[in-house]
Amino acid sequence: MATLARHLVHDRGHHRLVIDPAADNEAAIRCYPAVGFGPVGVMRRYERDADAAGWHDGLLMDLLAEDLDQRVHDALSYLGRLEVGGAFGGQVGHDGFDDRLITCVTRLRARPSDG
């Protein structure tokens, strides 16, 4: 997801990305903030249920280009303060920046401070 977001922002020139997972799709809703998406609001009775018997809500989420750029900058700055010892194949920078790096930094930043 992060690779696609970077492509759409940097290569295709989009300034905003919007996604609309079903409001009960917890796995997707947990994943998207790691890339930088944030909730905008709930769209009530947004889509038909799979059996077409009713409706379900959708969650509107967006990501602005500057939010993505800031996330990349923060991750690179954070890694610059770590001694990673080649954990990312010696590729730290925009050319070697990949989803594993975003995931690692996101997890590290989410951990409570030891002191």
Both tokens of 32, joined, read: 């998207």
pLDDT at 100: 55
Express each pLDDT in 17-49 by its tens digit.
999 999 999 888 888 888 888 999 999 999 999
Is residue 95 domain-resident? Answer: yes
pLDDT at 70: 77
pTM above 0.85, yes or no: no
Both tokens of 113, joined, read: 């401070």
The domain that holds 8 is classified in CATH as 3.40.630.30
Q: DSSP assignment, residue 52?
A: S
On the CB side of 89, CA atoms within 13 Å amount to 8
Q: How many structural domains are present in the chain?
A: 1
Instruction: Provide CB contacts within 8 A for 36, sequence distance 6+.
Output: 5, 63, 67, 68, 71
Is residue 15 domain-resident? Answer: yes
Express each pLDDT in 53-108 by its tens digit.
999 999 999 999 988 877 766 666 665 655 444 444 444 444 444 555 555 555 55
Is residue 80 domain-resident? Answer: yes
Is residue 115 domain-resident? Answer: no
